[in-house]
Structure 1
Amino acid sequence: MATISRRWPGYGTVWRWHFYAGLFCIPFVLWLALTGSIYLFRPQVEALIDRPYAHVAVAGPRTSAAAQVAAAVRAVPGSVLHRYQVPVTQDQAVQVIVGRDRTETRVYVHPQTLAVLKTVDEDSRLMRVVFRLHGELLAGDAGSYLVELAASWTIVMLLTGLFLWWPRASGLAGVVYPRLRAGGRRFWRDLHGVTGFWVSAMALFLLVSGLPWAKSWGGYLKTIRTAVEGVPVKQDWSTGHSGELRARAGRDAGTRAMMGDHAEHGGMTMRHPATSYEPIDRIAATIRPLSLAAPVLIAPPAGMGAPWTAKSDAADRPRRTDLTLDAGSGRILSRKDFAQRRLIDRLVGWGVAIHEGQAFGWANQLLNLVTASGLMLLCISSVVLWWRRKPGGELGAPGPVRGRALAFGFMPIVIVMAVSLPLFGASLLVVLIVESTVLRRLPGASRWLGLLPRTA
């Protein structure tokens, strides 16, 4: 039994996987940890940006929501209403999101004078830019694929790192806490291993909970769900910015069709037909007593025969609620709370809320910030360790393991990971093919990469 336990993958082989995964992932982990740390504080940052518009009204009557929407639509020629954000207080500027095809603009309207105080493109808002930097490097679908690939290999890096850390001797020093006075390589090795031990569980959670947003994995999940459920699946999260843009364009087209508007055909801008926004006032009056979690967004029908909708778009997703309402009376036609959603939607919703640091207040933000800081420390310490042991003229990868029998019990783990993380599986296959066909014929490159035994 002892002999079987020493078969591949042994310590040396796992170390090689860990090394190569880290070599690829470190730049991405640093970037994701940095941008993710900034995005954690989105509510605070956006409140600071919107501070000039938090108290703009004076004593006196407010204008109707319909008039506010009309002012916002006039401010952006060619636009139609996409969403009306119900004000939290009576004296703050009203925020109305109007759009034209895939472009959306947030318009700040004075609630009494109807003066337009500010307009900003939704995709140019600071935290939206940070979100896209974090999720797709501002590179569209290609960036989303790359981030997902890095996240998949980071999972491998963390799992192999835990294997390498696993205590092989008694004592807590260097395992649970670092030997800070050790100095030299031992200090950096302890700092790396102990930090990895403390942050790995939360880091793995953050990586897995971020996958539903990714273009490939999110689409993969949606395809499986559609096949299992037998109907097209509508998810409460977007899979890449391109998917969000398509959804915007679809809603915009549906709203224009409901209005009987064909103004944008052929690239021409024509005057929109007169449209009544009066249902917004009735709907707002209905939903205010419900005390839904802010922000609450009211949206017009996205097609003929469709109802008006209102939804809580709270960052803490388990507090969200979706409503459909009658335009004439403002009466609620249907209500769907978070607890009524399918299990997979609730799991993803909880995962996203925790991922964004919004599930349990400042403690969630602090936990995520500590995890991100730990990941950055892991990356820095690993670079120091690599640089200290790197031989001249070589990459410094651990040497190859020869004469090891294949542990077939390990293969199901690799297969499960490859199926669960399709980009990891595809990239692993590519790496194995390149190593066995191309690099075998390039001994110089293979030796530099550490794929051949070092010469004496």
Structure 2
Amino acid sequence: MEKAKQKIIDYRMFWRWHFYAGLVCIPFIIILSITGPIYLFKPQIEAAIDAKYDHLAFSGAPQPAEAMVKAAITAVPGSRFKAIEVRLDVHDAARVIVVKGDDKIRLYVHPISLKILKQVPEEARFMEVIKTIHGELFAGRFGQVIVELAVCWAIIMILTGLYLWWPRDIKGIAGLLYPRLDMGKRVFWRDIHAVVGIYVSALALFLLLTGLPWTYVWGNAFKSVRALASPVPVTQAWSQGRADEKKMLKAEGTVSTDLSRLDALLDTARALNLPAPVTLSAPAKGATLWKLASDTGNRPQRVTMMIDPTMLEVISREDFADKKPLDRAVGYGIAAHEGQLFGPLNQALGVLTALGLMALCVSAVVMWWQRRPADRLGAPQRLPDEKLAPGLALIIIVLGIFLPVLGISLIVVGLLEWLVLRRIPTVRDWLGLKP
């Protein structure tokens, strides 16, 4: 009897957690589910946007690359040369990246006239805007933490949803693996929520977990653990938002670059035929070697080389296989998260997962609207003598440690409920905190 009572208590507790997790997550999950699928098609979208700057019609040999870079620097007074994209077709406009202060600016230079066809800050490019919304909500560090908080509670929402879905008294698979369409609107929406949830839960958890390295709190904690695990400094192949990127640019300072060998370097880079897009970056302050890097979205195919501009020799090369196991694992996860690991199927799975998450959000709102009480929020109310089971308490502690933002939010919410919300009768009753 006691065991049956505890099962009921556990179920209602999971249900309440699921309800409140959805309350926190739904607006942000919708934003992520819109921006995420757009970013999956970054290569195709950027190629379409830049198509008018490719295969330009002209006769004769292009101007030297040095002249193109100088034209770009002149167009942005006070800037310095950062990098140039390696284009296989010399009839494409040169993509020159310069730095002014802590901002990167991309300029499209005509190969013959040296006219600036387009000038755009890197962070203002369409896909960068989508990325910023997806990761920061255009709110900087604060937005990053909010997105991380939403991701953490989305993980809770999915885990509690799986617990609520789990079959107990099985009477068939209707409502579990496919929706019942002939039992009224309430059952229909409940089944849509449950069935879609079970099919997308694994993929959604994968996307949420592989997005954590970009977050601010979890990402920086992971960076510290990663540094402790490596005896020598290792360059991280991802960043924690625009603020980190700007800090790195500012730290570089002003660097004077010898451009006399740029055409020869570009010819060497083209001959290597690395996966596009490929950038050739100027030497770092105090160095002489140029950096050639493939920035393909399929990270396991990325290559980084250091080239001597005098001898045109590759001095060092780092392939994906040369990275630490932990970095390779993150690289695979990020490539899959961005839809670039295994081609169109990867993109299709990402889109289907996003559509599934949106269906969950819509069905959750519809179910709440259909069942909402007139005088309360509609959260499952606490039962008398409700206590947290030891196993559930352990799971919460582990999740709170693994996801620090979640742990902090649980402490804040717990203190707020105990010190304030339960002591105001109208608020307590409206939130369903009264047993």
TM-score by length of 1: 0.91
Does residue 281 (structure 1) correspond to residue 282 (structure 2)? The answer is no
Give a deviation string over 1:297-345, Cα, whole Å, max 9, x none: 1111121135211100111111111111112122111000011111121
- Listed as ranges, the matches of 1:27-426 within 5 Å are 27-168=27-168, 169-251=170-252, 253=253, 256=254, 258-259=255-256, 275-305=257-287, 307-426=289-408
- The answer to whether the Cα contact below 8 Å between 2:304 and 2:319 also exists between their aligned partners in 1 is yes
Deviation of 1:112 after TM superposition, in Å, equals 2.5
Q: Distance in 1 between matches of 2:172 and 2:370?
A: 26
Deviation of 1:236 after TM superposition, in Å, equals 0.6
Q: Distance in 2 between matches of 1:57 and 1:324?
A: 33
Q: Distance in 1 between matches of 2:309 and 2:89?
A: 24
- The answer to whether the Cα contact below 8 Å between 1:279 and 1:330 also exists between their aligned partners in 2 is no
Q: Distance in 1 between matches of 2:9 and 2:214?
A: 33
211-220 or 398-407, which deviates more: 398-407
Partner of 2:12: 12
- Listed as ranges, the matches of 1:421-432 within 5 Å are 421-432=403-414
- The answer to whether the Cα contact below 8 Å between 2:29 and 2:358 also exists between their aligned partners in 1 is yes
Letter in 2 for 1:211: L
Unaligned runs of 5+ in 1: 260-274
Residues 306 and 224 of structure 1, relative CA distance in 2, 3 Å threshold: farther
Q: Report the 3-state secondary structure (helix = DSSP H, G, I; strand = E; otherwise coil) of the residue aligned with 2:118.
A: strand
- The answer to whether the Cα contact below 8 Å between 1:202 and 1:371 also exists between their aligned partners in 2 is yes
Q: Distance in 2 between matches of 1:318 and 1:23?
A: 38
- The answer to whether the Cα contact below 8 Å between 1:9 and 1:410 also exists between their aligned partners in 2 is no
Query: Number of residues paired by the alignment?
Result: 434
Q: Distance in 1 between matches of 2:91 and 2:384?
A: 73
Q: Report the 3-state secondary structure (helix = DSSP H, G, I; strand = E; otherwise coil) of the residue aligned with 1:108.
A: strand
Q: Distance in 1 between matches of 2:146 and 2:188?
A: 33
Deviation of 1:90 after TM superposition, in Å, equals 2.4
Residues 199 and 331 of structure 1, relative CA distance in 2, 3 Å threshold: same
Deviation of 1:231 after TM superposition, in Å, equals 4.6
Give a deviation string over 1:8-57, Cα, whole Å, max 9, x none: 86111100000000011100011110111222222222111111101214
Q: Report the 3-state secondary structure (helix = DSSP H, G, I; strand = E; otherwise coil) of the residue aligned with 1:10.
A: helix
Q: Report the 3-state secondary structure (helix = DSSP H, G, I; strand = E; otherwise coil) of the residue aligned with 1:104.
A: strand
- The answer to whether the Cα contact below 8 Å between 1:57 and 1:111 also exists between their aligned partners in 2 is no
Unaligned runs of 5+ in 2: none
Residues 248 and 30 of structure 1, relative CA distance in 2, 3 Å threshold: same
- The answer to whether the Cα contact below 8 Å between 2:86 and 2:269 also exists between their aligned partners in 1 is no
Q: Distance in 2 between matches of 1:283 and 1:401?
A: 72
Question: Percent identity over the alignment?
Answer: 47
Q: Distance in 1 between matches of 2:77 and 2:388?
A: 67
Q: Distance in 1 between matches of 2:288 and 2:2?
A: 67
Give a deviation string over 1:135-162, Cα, whole Å, max 9, x none: 1001101000000000000000000001
- The answer to whether the Cα contact below 8 Å between 1:324 and 1:332 also exists between their aligned partners in 2 is yes
Deviation of 1:110 after TM superposition, in Å, equals 1.4
Q: Distance in 2 between matches of 1:175 and 1:280?
A: 62
Which of 392, 409, 429 is the aligned partner of 1:447?
429
Q: Distance in 1 between matches of 2:430 and 2:231?
A: 52
Letter in 2 for 1:443: P
Deviation of 1:406 after TM superposition, in Å, equals 3.7
Q: Distance in 2 between matches of 1:177 and 1:151?
A: 27
Q: Report the 3-state secondary structure (helix = DSSP H, G, I; strand = E; otherwise coil) of the residue aligned with 1:106.
A: strand
Deviation of 1:246 after TM superposition, in Å, equals 0.9
Deviation of 1:351 after TM superposition, in Å, equals 1.1
Q: Distance in 1 between matches of 2:393 and 2:262?
A: 58
Q: Distance in 2 between matches of 1:419 and 1:230?
A: 25
Q: Report the 3-state secondary structure (helix = DSSP H, G, I; strand = E; otherwise coil) of the residue aligned with 1:376.
A: helix
Q: Distance in 1 between matches of 2:8 and 2:246?
A: 47
Residues 63 and 71 of structure 1, relative CA distance in 2, 3 Å threshold: same
Q: Report the 3-state secondary structure (helix = DSSP H, G, I; strand = E; otherwise coil) of the residue aligned with 2:305.
A: strand
Q: Distance in 2 between matches of 1:5 and 1:114?
A: 78
Q: Report the 3-state secondary structure (helix = DSSP H, G, I; strand = E; otherwise coil) of the residue aligned with 1:59.
A: coil
TM-score by length of 2: 0.96
Deviation of 1:114 after TM superposition, in Å, equals 2.1
- The answer to whether the Cα contact below 8 Å between 1:57 and 1:110 also exists between their aligned partners in 2 is no
425-434 or 305-314, which deviates more: 305-314
282-291 or 424-433, which deviates more: 282-291
Q: Distance in 2 between matches of 1:7 and 1:403?
A: 13
Deviation of 1:211 after TM superposition, in Å, equals 1.0
Letter in 2 for 1:79: S
- The answer to whether the Cα contact below 8 Å between 1:21 and 1:157 also exists between their aligned partners in 2 is yes
Residues 400 and 137 of structure 1, relative CA distance in 2, 3 Å threshold: same
Q: Distance in 2 between matches of 1:301 and 1:31?
A: 39
Q: Distance in 2 between matches of 1:160 and 1:146?
A: 21
- The answer to whether the Cα contact below 8 Å between 2:372 and 2:378 also exists between their aligned partners in 1 is yes
58-67 or 225-234, which deviates more: 225-234
